[in-house]
Structure 1
Amino acid sequence: MSLVLCLAVTGLCFSLLEKQIRRRPVFFYLFFVLLSLLSIFLPKQLTVPPLAYLVNRLLRRGVLAGSMFLWVMYAIVLPQKSRLQRVMMTLRAQIAIGASILTLAHNIAYGQRYFVLLFTNAGKLKSYELIASCFSLAMILLLLPLTVTSFQVVRRKMNAKRWKQLQRFSYLFYGLLYLHICFIYTGGLRKGKSEYLVQFALYTLLYGIYLMLRLTKAFLKKPLPTAPDYAAKRAARRRKVICLHGAISLLMLLVLLFAFRTVQAGKQGSADTAQVQSTSAAESANSASSASESASKAEDTGAAPACGSGIAAAVPDGEYEGKGVGYNGNIKVKVSVACGKITAIEILKTDDDEEYFYDAKKQVVNAILEQQTTEVDAASGATSSSDGIMKAVKNALQP
């Protein structure tokens, strides 16, 4: 999984390069600026799989930034005096700044679509996309002052008490980040995608465990009275911590149960849709077969065959493959043609995000089959993916 991979790689790199990062933080920041520019300006038609995975899956989607924020969060609750805790606490500010740089680049990459629609035509956004976009804006407003004050040169000029008060807003940022992730994964969960459930469960467990550890540490920091009330107060504190852990565990269980039921409902809906599409495809095939028989009879009698009149009118019967450029890269399709009509369109490969490619696939493919043209309306919120499918179908039908 991408998040686990990022956590492992970043944790190892920070441990091995601790001294270098601490002595030359500027080079560390420049490295993440370079990665950010790569994710923003590198063409989407990537041919090298490792580079495509790094840019499309880890950078543009914010997975690498999210893993670094998790290290920033966990630094304070890791086992005391462990090497990992010492490394993360030593580099906490630098890691936070690097993660902030990547997060801003992630918002630029996705803001070109979602922020533009948010301010120009919010009605085209689904409810969960609208909420996630609003959370993103709130996080940016929090992230900017938190990042600026994380630089040592700025921190030294600030009053220590005010600096600590400002940095407490980072907890609000973490909460918004988790809620943002929840709404981002909502689309995939509602479509019955099990892989989204696994990723959502992982984020929920990581944030839930952090919340338990952080609140436990806050409880334990409070001083206890001296004897004779010490034992009683200590026992009462332990009971509170146990109740707190139980409440958070129950909340996580309810959230995961809700996500699981959402996926199950999505799978059932997808199965019903697939059945309807299968029926439609069978009807189209029967129609094509009837048209082919009519054409054969017309050919035998010397009459002109009555075939399709759309984009595939002059295309011989058969299956054709074509490519088009979507949001994150190439989209490859297989188009079936019978008697001058497109009878089926199969998506063979796509690099686009499933949460909005699904809508493009469903709407655009059905529209092309119905209207027999690639000049159809794009799916709301998935314009690039829709255009990629249309171009791929057109490319497949070209001589």
Structure 2
Amino acid sequence: MSLVLCLAVTGLCFSLLEKQIRRRPVFFYLFFVLLSLLSIFLPKQLTVPPLAYLVNRLLRRGVLAGAMFLWVMYAIVLPAKSRLQRVMMSLRAQIAIAASILTLSHNIAYGQHYFVLLFTNAGKLKSYELIAACFSLAMILLLLPLTVTSFQVVRRKMSAKRWKQLQRLSYLFYGLLYLHICFIYTGGLRKGKSEYLVQFALYTLLYGIYLMLRLTKAFLKKPLPTAPDYAAKRAARRRKVICLHGGISLLMLLLLLFAFRTVQAGKQGSADTAPAESTSAAESADGGSAAPESASKAGDASTTAAGAGGIAASVPDGDYEGKGVGYNGNIKVKVTVSGGKITAIEILKTDDDEEYFYDAKKKVIQEILDRQTAEVDAASGATSSSDGIMKAVKNALQQ
């Protein structure tokens, strides 16, 4: 998974380059500025798979930034005196600044769609998209002062007490970040996408475990009385810590069960919709028993025209592969032709965001099969993905 990969690679790089980063933090920041500019200005129509994966999957989607913030969070709760904790604590400020730079570029990349709609036509956003966008704005407002005060030159000019008070806002930022992720994945969960459930579960476990460790460490900092009450107080504290862990574990379990039920409901909804769409398509092809006679004749004429002069009318039977450009990169399809008609369209590969691509795939492919033409209406809110599918189908049949 992308998050696990980012955690492993960044953890290894920070461990190997600890001294260099501490001595020359400016070059470290400039490197991430360049990565951010790459994610903002590099065209989405990439052809080199490794570069496309880095830019589209890791940078623009904020996965790399999220992984780095996880290291910042976990630095304080890692096993005491371990090498990993020493490295992460010594680089905590630098990693936080670099992660903030990537987060801002992530917001620029996605804000072109979400923030514009939020301020111009919020009604077009789904409820979970609207909430996620509002959380993003709140996080940006928190991130700016947290990032500025993380620079040593600024920190030295502040009193230690004031700096610590300001940095406590980072816990609010972490909470909003998790909620933002939850609402982003809501669309995929409601559509029955199992891969979203796996990602949601991973983030929930990582944030839940951090919450347990952080609260436990804060709780254990409280001084215990001296004898003779020491043993009793220590046992009482241990029981409270166990209750704390149990409560957070129960909360995580409930969240995961809710996500699982949401995915199952989405799959069931998709399964119920498919037969209805097939029945509707069949009735449309027959003209509809309840439709007027003129509409029936028009439907028959349209079907005949599609069969006689459709886009695949002169294409030999077989399977054909083609590529088109979607929102985040290439879309690759396999088109099956039989008897001069397109009988099946399969998506082989896409770099587009699943929440948009799912709507485009569901609408556009069915319309192409029904009308036997690659010139169909795009799915609302997924125009680029829809155009990419249509272009891929055309490209496959023109070879």
**CA distance 1:360–1:185, change in 2 (3 Å):** same
SS in 1 for 2:305: coil
8 Å Cα contact 1:307/1:313 also seen in 2: no
CA–CA distance in 1 between the matches of 2:132 and 2:239? Answer: 37
Give the deviation of 1:312 after TM superposition.
Answer: 2.6
Give the deviation of 1:360 after TM superposition.
Answer: 1.1
Tell me the equivalent position of 1:37. 37
**CA distance 1:114–1:310, change in 2 (3 Å):** farther
8 Å Cα contact 1:39/1:59 also seen in 2: yes
**Unaligned segments of structure 2, at least 5 residues:** 288-302
CA–CA distance in 2 between the matches of 1:88 and 1:36? Answer: 22
8 Å Cα contact 2:312/2:372 also seen in 1: no
Tell me the equivalent position of 1:96. 96
Tell me the equivalent position of 2:305. 307
Give the deviation of 1:342 after TM superposition.
Answer: 5.0
Structure 1 position 128 matched with structure 2 position 113: no
Alignment of 1:177-196 (within 5 A): 177-196=177-196
8 Å Cα contact 2:317/2:339 also seen in 1: no
Give the deviation of 1:274 after TM superposition.
Answer: 3.8
CA–CA distance in 2 between the matches of 1:310 and 1:140? Answer: 54
Tell me the equivalent position of 2:223. 223
Tell me the equivalent position of 2:257. 257
8 Å Cα contact 2:281/2:370 also seen in 1: no
Give the deviation of 1:97 after TM superposition.
Answer: 0.4
Tell me the equivalent position of 1:208. 208
CA–CA distance in 2 between the matches of 1:62 and 1:180? Answer: 12
CA–CA distance in 2 between the matches of 1:242 and 1:222? Answer: 16
Give the TM-score normalised by the residue count of structure 2.
0.88
SS in 2 for 1:349: strand
Calculate percent identity across the aligned residue pairs.
90
**CA distance 1:151–1:310, change in 2 (3 Å):** farther
CA–CA distance in 2 between the matches of 1:283 and 1:349? Answer: 32
Give the deviation of 1:121 after TM superposition.
Answer: 1.7
Give the deviation of 1:61 after TM superposition.
Answer: 1.1
SS in 2 for 1:307: helix
- The letter of the residue matching 1:5 is L
Report Cα offsets for 1:94-146 as digits up to 9, x if no partner: 00001111111111111111111211222222111111111111111111110
Q: Report how many residues are paired.
A: 382
CA–CA distance in 1 between the matches of 2:309 and 2:346? Answer: 19
- The letter of the residue matching 2:118 is L
8 Å Cα contact 1:334/1:396 also seen in 2: yes
Report Cα offsets for 1:375-398 as digits up to 9, x if no partner: 544323222112212333344455
Higher mean C-alpha displacement, 213-222 vs 225-234: 225-234
Give the deviation of 1:239 after TM superposition.
Answer: 1.5
Report Cα offsets for 1:79-101 as digits up to 9, x if no partner: 11111111110000000001111
Higher mean C-alpha displacement, 92-101 vs 263-272: 263-272
8 Å Cα contact 2:313/2:341 also seen in 1: no
Higher mean C-alpha displacement, 173-182 vs 341-350: 341-350
CA–CA distance in 2 between the matches of 1:345 and 1:15? Answer: 47
Tell me the equivalent position of 1:301. none
Give the deviation of 1:306 after TM superposition.
Answer: 5.0
Tell me the equivalent position of 2:28. 28
SS in 1 for 2:228: coil
Give the deviation of 1:147 after TM superposition.
Answer: 0.5
Tell me the equivalent position of 2:378. 378
What is the Cα-based RMSD across aligned positions, in Å? Answer: 2.6
CA–CA distance in 2 between the matches of 1:131 and 1:92? Answer: 30
**CA distance 1:313–1:24, change in 2 (3 Å):** closer
**CA distance 1:91–1:66, change in 2 (3 Å):** same
Structure 1 position 246 matched with structure 2 position 246: yes
Give the TM-score normalised by the residue count of structure 1.
0.88
SS in 1 for 2:349: strand
Give the deviation of 1:23 after TM superposition.
Answer: 0.4
- The letter of the residue matching 2:221 is K
CA–CA distance in 1 between the matches of 2:350 and 2:366? Answer: 18
SS in 2 for 1:266: helix
